[in-house]
Amino acid sequence: MQDPPSNLPPHSTDAEEAVLASMLIDPAKVPLVLAILRPESFYREKHVFVFQAMVSLFERGEGINQITVAHELASGQNGSKGTTRLEAIGGTAYLSHLIAEMPTSVYAEHYAGVVEKTSFARQLMDAGHKIEAIGQEGPADTDKAMADAMGHILELHGQRPGRRHSMSPKRRGDLMFDRYDILRENEDAHAVMFGFEALDKATGGAHESDLIIVGGRTGMGKSTLLRQMAFSMAQVAPVLFASAEMSGTQLMDRDISYMIGVHPLRLSKGLYNDDLTGQIMDAVGALTEIPIHDFIPPILTTTNLWAEAVRLRLSEGLAAVFVDYLQLLGDPRGRGNEQERVQSISARLKALAREVEVPVIAAAQLNRGPEYQANKRPRLSDLRSSGAIEQDADLVLLMYRDDYYRRNDNAVYKGDFTEIAIAKQRQGYSGITVRLRWDDKKQRLVAVADVGV
């Protein structure tokens, strides 16, 4: 294939012609090519016209040959230029030229790959220009500028060479068949598991693009629950764990505690012997293999969280994003009162879930309502600024530990169950309570006990 002149964007006229010729002489190659290319993959306008004509014939189930393609082109207008598309490409003589230059269609996919790579190079250049424009504007908000720049790169993520995509939006029926056929083969194809059997059974796991809220009063174990979920989901792909509440050293202590079953307080005070030191070193080695990426900037905002999530998804892949916790996030768009601020944060987290196509799981603080109730189990209305959070969330889990309120009732503290109530589930049943046992000594949730409705 000849290289294009240096003053033109990347393209290969020879490869584009070879693809079109292969489709003309062997219509059986059309589905293979359509899985790789779109009209905008072609650099030459006349090649776009020929390709679109063959696509239209294919979608109508009509034959593809020099005569039918010429007729299709003759019926299409060349914009506002007052000519037909057949005239724009040079008439039937150009179709004859294509066929004469390509005696075989054996290498159709190879040529299509060349066209797609040059198309991707042009898109990459275009993204570069857009990112350059962001820099030229001299943005005051560097976090937002980073998020916008990463957004342009993310847009290319689904268009890179080698990714199969359809020519046009699929018909609703095709989408339905695809989805339910995948789910029939693998019911968990679009979900990652929380790591607690009863909770996974009641919810089907965390689904892509979901905003999941874990609400609870202080001391209920929200951070611990999120961290254990992160460990589970990191078995599938890397996870991003953003904390506005704990430092990196605090998270490390908790991780080691989780791994070896020693209270974090003992670790932070250095109260361990040689045997425990060996266990800690083994745990450190194991933890380095678990792809949990802690994100602990000086000030955690929705914009720098967004940028980091996009960066990680592009560089390593992403199973889920965790936020501890929602009300501590900063958001430049929510500069009004507290309710407006939380509303903006909630909306941005939902938009982030849709953008990176993974679940975003955020802890959320409750108001003091349960403290003044005889039954201290929380309700949806106990979420701070609950109207916005309830609206945006796909799944709301509310945590409650009865023993937390009964510490002074017993001389000996025994530890008890942690209840996780499914207060809202957009795609499932609400009103289910999952019970886990809270191990206070090891500071973790263990062994599902039962599920009650």
62 is catalytic: no
Better pLDDT: 449 or 297: 297
Better pLDDT: 388 or 46: 46
Alpha-carbon distance of 434 to 432, in angstroms, equals: 7
CA nearest to 313, candidates 353, 362, 361 = 353
Alpha-carbon distance of 164 to 134, in angstroms, equals: 30
Q: Which amino acid is at 261?
A: G
Q: What are phi and psi of 445, to 5 degrees?
A: -95, 135
Alpha helices by DSSP H, listed for 90-161, are 92-101, 108-136, 142-157
**C-beta separation of 202 from 341 below 8 A:** no
pLDDT at 384: 64
pLDDT at 240: 94
Domain boundaries, the chain: 1-168, 187-452
Residue 133 confidence class, pLDDT cut points 50, 70, 90: confident
Residue 20 confidence class, pLDDT cut points 50, 70, 90: very high
Residue 163 confidence class, pLDDT cut points 50, 70, 90: very low
- For residue 66, pLDDT over 50 is answered with yes
Classify domain 187-452 at the CATH superfamily level: P-loop containing nucleotide triphosphate hydrolases (3.40.50.300)
Residue 49 confidence class, pLDDT cut points 50, 70, 90: very high
Residue 179 confidence class, pLDDT cut points 50, 70, 90: low
End-to-end Cα distance, the chain:
67
Alpha helices by DSSP H, listed for 269-379, are 274-287, 302-315, 338-356
The reported pTM is 0.63
Of 198-207, 413-422, 433-442, the one with minimum mean pLDDT is 413-422
Mean pLDDT along residues 297-317: 82
Mean pLDDT along residues 205-211: 90
Per annotation, catalytic residue among 109, 197, 208, 245 = 245
- Which tens digits make up the pLDDT trace of 344-383? 888 888 988 988 889 999 998 887 766 667 677 888 877 7
pLDDT at 177: 55
pLDDT at 450: 43
- Which tens digits make up the pLDDT trace of 145-160? 777 777 777 666 555 5
Beta strands in 143-205 (DSSP E): 191-192
| Cis amide leading into 325 (omega within 30) | yes
**C-beta separation of 361 from 322 below 8 A:** yes
pLDDT at 93: 92
- For residue 168, pLDDT over 50 is answered with no
The C-alpha angle with vertex 388 and arms to 356 and 372, in degrees rounded to 5, equals 125
Where is 422: in which H helix or E strand? strand 417-425
Residue 73 confidence class, pLDDT cut points 50, 70, 90: very high
Better pLDDT: 99 or 448: 99
**Domain 1-168, second-level architecture:** Orthogonal Bundle (1.10)
- Which tens digits make up the pLDDT trace of 108-126? 888 898 999 998 888 888 8
Better pLDDT: 410 or 58: 58
Q: What are phi and psi of 127, to 5 degrees?
A: -65, -40
- For residue 394, pLDDT over 80 is answered with yes
- For residue 50, pLDDT over 90 is answered with yes
Q: What is the mean pLDDT of the chain?
A: 79
pLDDT at 180: 52
Say if residue 352 is exposed, middle or buried (CB neighbours under 10 Å; 0-12, 13-18, 19+): buried
pLDDT at 360: 95
Residue 451, C-beta contacts closer than 8 angstroms, at least 6 positions apart: 198, 201, 202, 432, 433, 434, 435
Q: Which amino acid is at 34?
A: L
Mean pLDDT along residues 159-168: 44
